[in-house]
Chain A
Amino acid sequence: GENVEQHPSTLSVQEGDSAVIKCTYSDSASNYFPWYKQELGKRPQLIIDIRSNVGEKKDQRIAVTLNKTAKHFSLHITETQPEDSAVYFCAASIEYSSASKIIFGSGTRLSIRP
């Protein structure tokens, strides 16, 4: 079955610097890759997602890149701000299929130093 590995588990960056979180997946049939942000005690919320027909997607300070050949995707946050501190999860799933489970990475705790 699908397995998603996420690195690093913790990341501390200076405010204003960039943060990069990387994930790899095992099932080549996966075609949908979301990223979620979870604040303490809250539900995960989508921050950006990418589907397999594109290699990169950007939304203001957040971007995601996808390399289907390498089965690798990354989250990039530029000009980090204190409110970016949270746990971030990547995930992989197969849309338009009966095998539609969503598998999450183990999470990255991002801390922004003032």
Chain B
Amino acid sequence: GNSVTQMEGPVTLSEEAFLTINCTYTATGYPSLFWYVQYPGEGLQLLLKATKADDKGSNKGFEATYRKETTSFHLEKGSVQVSDSAVYFCALSAVYNFNKFYFGSGTKLNVKP
């Protein structure tokens, strides 16, 4: 079946630190992979995506590379800001039913000044 596993949080970092949030997946074939961000009290916003192996998605200084060999899509940012504090969700869309998204449990990021 399809599933997504994320590292558990919360992750607490100081401003300008390097961020990695691990995400691995299980899927049939080659799904599309996504990172969404959820700020307190709000809905999910698409952060970046990758639709095939070795693709790199990037946005707002965040990036993630679709690694087929390790079935991973880790989120990275070189220098986090306080405004990056949020919950980050990794997700995949099923190959044969791409209308159904599978989400990880989310990783809460706290960035301190």
Tell me whether A and B are bound partners. Answer: no
